[in-house]
Structure 1
Amino acid sequence: MIAIASGPGSGKSTIGGDISERIGKDHKLSCSVVSVEGFMLPKADLDKTDDPEKAHARRSAKWTFNGKAMVDFIRRCRHQTKMEKQIRAPDFDEEAMDPHPHGEIVDVETQVLIFEGIYLLSDTEPWKEIQELVDDKWFVHVEPGLSRKRVAKRRQNKGIEKDLDKCYQQYDESDGKNNAFITEHLGKVDLIIENNDEKGLHEPEK
């Protein structure tokens, strides 16, 4: 079981998918990838918060996820037995912009399981419990300026916001804060993946 974490715009989802494909092709092992996005709080739950406008604007902040459910899911996968042959993960609907229960199926025979998401390696509760549940912990490092550029362009390309300047503003008001949070509250890491203009792998400095 591997946890891959990083801030927005790091390419962690693409990296997780590429690794899964290579594990299957090169090593002939079955591999599944589960994204933390399926554990985002639904918009209906954000509407019930004390400040719904802020909750929607800051969606993807740590407190807009059901962290406990994510930890419980990983623990369930860690201790999966043939009595519970399949465990279904929730997923995130990009069109509806809401989670749904029909995501990746984790089979008891799955040989490699990858979890990817922004707070998986956070040293804060309840996320820090994940440290003891997975076998390897990888962090994707991206320079803040490059992350900002990628996220803003992605927002524009998806049609979320046509004005690129507003896309940058939205990043600064939300995703940029999340990026800073995970950098400040990063727990133990076994491997760092550099996904900047120059790619690379290295162990964390001790």
Structure 2
Amino acid sequence: MHPRHLLSRARRLADSATPGRRRLLGITGPPGAGKSTLAAHLVAELAGRAALVPMDGFHLAGAELSRLGRTDRKGAPDTFDPAGYAALLARLRTPEPDGAVYAPAFDRRIEEPVAGSIAVAPHLPLVVTEGNYLLLDAGPWARVRALLDEVWYVDLDTPERLRRLIDRHEHFGRPRADAERFVHTSDEANARVVAATRDRADLVLTFTPDEAPPPTGC
């Protein structure tokens, strides 16, 4: 689907919001497929009518991952706080008129979530959220899908997606060999989990290497 049509679809979703009932658009797909950049593009083009709230703000902190013995699996479903994410989405769906909702963000420079980083004003009719596990139907993740009005699944040719992921990890400080190891083990294990949720999406977007934007941060 052409980007212009995607923007029109997102705009229609924003237009359908009613007082006290905000619309939520989810963008999901495997790591490195371009979902973060697509989400940021839509929010920018909607020019003050939407906010971007990534799922990655609900990464568990590094100290907690270390305590749980999950540091090497960072990015897997059990290295997030899905119940907290679902609770935030529920708040965002029904905004109160007298104040912003504050959401966490993930800072790749320090590889940690940062609380209260994103202010979502009550007048905004649309929130765009993106992340790997929006369509997962296991455990607390199962609450997420029902809170989203639409979910779009973004996919990309696998060799190109892996190349871009490795470049992203290297950009943020991993040695090349370590980046390759992490992508081919942890990231690809997570990608298989995400791929199994594809059929639950409202819209599937398959980018060619020439069409897809680079992963955020590259």
| Category of TM-score, reference length = shorter chain | 0.7 to 0.9
Instruction: After superposition, give the CA deviation of every residue in 1:104-123 in whole Å (9 maximum; x if it has no partner).
Output: 11111011110111111222
The match for 1:104 among 108, 113, 118 is: 118
Kindly tell me: are residues 44 and 187 of structure 1, through their superposed partners in 2, closer, same or farther at Cα, counting changes over 3 Å? farther
SS at match of 2:117: coil
The match for 2:85 among 66, 70, 77 is: 70
Could you tell which deviates more after superposition, 145-154 or 171-180? Answer: 145-154
How far is 1:193 from its partner?
A: 1.9
Match of 2:206 in 1: 194
How far is 1:127 from its partner?
A: 1.8
How far is 1:16 from its partner?
A: 0.4
| 1:16 to 2:18 alignment | no
Q: Percent identity?
A: 24
How far is 1:168 from its partner?
A: 2.1
Asked if the contact 2:53/2:129 (under 8 Å) is kept, the reply is yes
Match of 1:141 in 2: 155
How far is 1:190 from its partner?
A: 1.1
Aligned CA RMSD, in angstroms, stands at 1.7
Q: One-letter code of the match for 1:137? A: V
| 1:2 to 2:25 alignment | yes
* Gapped regions of structure 2 (runs ≥ 5): 1-23, 213-218
Match of 1:44 in 2: 63
CA distance in 1, matches of 2:210, 2:174: 29
CA distance in 2, matches of 1:12, 1:133: 19
The alignment covers a number of residue pairs equal to 189
Match of 1:88 in 2: 102
Could you tell which deviates more after superposition, 181-190 or 168-177? Answer: 181-190
CA distance in 1, matches of 2:96, 2:200: 28
SS at match of 1:194: strand
How far is 1:129 from its partner?
A: 1.8
| 1:167 to 2:179 alignment | yes
* Gapped regions of structure 1 (runs ≥ 5): 201-206
TM norm structure 2: 0.81
Asked if the contact 1:91/1:103 (under 8 Å) is kept, the reply is yes
How far is 1:199 from its partner?
A: 4.1
How far is 1:93 from its partner?
A: 1.8
Match of 2:53 in 1: 34
CA distance in 1, matches of 2:199, 2:84: 19
TM norm structure 1: 0.85
SS at match of 1:60: coil
Moved over 3 A (4+): none
Could you tell which deviates more after superposition, 151-160 or 37-46? Answer: 151-160
Asked if the contact 2:156/2:209 (under 8 Å) is kept, the reply is no
